[in-house]
């Protein structure tokens, strides 16, 4: 199964980008052993519209344009479901085992995710009750993807 990260906004050069890249590189190297492949990380420009609803709608349209057809959507949103790492790995593994070809992790812009796009998601996932900067969200999801691979392959990285 191919997994991609689709985000509104760009990571600038610096420690956040380096750390996210490090985890995605680890995922790319370890994933094929359990049938997971990192397909891409797409960064889209933030909308410059005058109000939040229009910005979210425009950003959702751009996200929808670049996400592969038929991809299972996982939207990262503070109102979503909380999971522990083992549940997250199971979710990925179960969808892989059921023949899902693509999974897209979606990170919205500063105003959040358009409700129509969020409603299309198979999973709306929160990364805790705290509000995180988008740069940190990229690191967190990259690390959890790598952790999921280690859980699925029985690697000792994840300790309970």
Over 70: is that where the pLDDT of 67 sits?
Answer: yes
Residue 100's contacts (CB-CB under 8 Å, 6 or more residues apart) are 1, 72
**Binding annotation:** 76, 108, 127-132
Distance CA 143, CA 154 (A): 16
Task: Kindly report the pTM of this predicted structure.
Answer: 0.95
**Binding annotation for S-adenosyl-L-methionine:** 76, 108, 127-132
Q: Which residue ranges make up each domain of the chain? A: 2-153
Q: Residue 24, class by beta-carbon neighbours within 10 Å (0-12 exposed, 13-18 middle, 19+ buried)?
A: buried
Q: What is the mean pLDDT of residues 24-37?
A: 97
- The whole-chain average pLDDT of the chain stands at 95
CATH number of 2-153: 3.40.1280.10
């Amino acid at each position: 199964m191919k997994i991609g990260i689709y985000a509104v906004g760009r990571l600038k050069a610096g420690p956040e980008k380096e750390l996210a890249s490090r985890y995605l590189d680890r995922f790319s190297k370890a994933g094929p052993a359990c049938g997971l492949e990192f397909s891409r990380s797409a960064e889209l420009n933030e909308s410059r519209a005058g109000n939040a609803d229009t910005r979210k709608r425009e950003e959702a349209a751009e996200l929808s344009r670049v996400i592969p057809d038929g991809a299972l959507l996982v939207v990262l949103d503070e109102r979503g479901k909380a999971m522990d790492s083992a549940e997250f790995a199971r979710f990925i593994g179960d969808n892989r085992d059921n023949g899902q070809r693509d999974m897209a992790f979606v990170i919205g812009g500063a105003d959040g995710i358009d409700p129509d796009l969020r409603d299309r998601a198979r999973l709306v996932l929160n990364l805790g009750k705290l509000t995180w900067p988008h740069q940190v969200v990229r690191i967190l999801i990259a690390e959890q993807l790598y952790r999921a691979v280690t859980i699925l392959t029985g690697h000792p990285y994840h300790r309970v």
